[in-house]
């Protein structure tokens, strides 16, 4: 039982470490997703027009 609990603690610590390593990329991914969402239009509010058409 002690080995199981220790293994679970080690796995949790590894997951937290991996999350801390990857967390700076979350903002980069979010900014890129927001840029593409603005470029292709926002289908959530019923306005799915292409942003490129508005520029013309």
Angle at 34 between CA 36 and CA 49, to 5 degrees: 55
Q: What is the mean pLDDT of residues 18-33?
A: 77
The string of DSSP codes covering 1-56 is -HHHHHHHHHHHHHHHHHHHHHHHHHHHHHHHHHHHHHHH-BGGGTB---HHHHH-
What pLDDT does residue 56 have? 47
What pLDDT does residue 17 have? 84
Q: Which residue has the higher pLDDT, 8 or 32?
A: 8
Are 41 and 49 in contact, with CB atoms under 8 Å apart?
Answer: yes
What pLDDT does residue 6 have? 95
- Please tell me the pTM assigned to this model: 0.45
Dihedral pair phi/psi, residue 47, rounded to 5°: -105, 90
Structure tokens at 22: 């990857």
């Amino acid at each position: 039982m002690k080995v199981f609990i220790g293994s679970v603690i080690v796995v949790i610590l590894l997951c937290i470490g991996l999350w801390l390593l990857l967390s700076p990329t979350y903002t980069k991914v979010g900014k890129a997703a927001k840029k593409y969402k603005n470029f292709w239009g926002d289908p959530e509010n019923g306005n799915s027009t292409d942003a490129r058409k508005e520029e013309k």
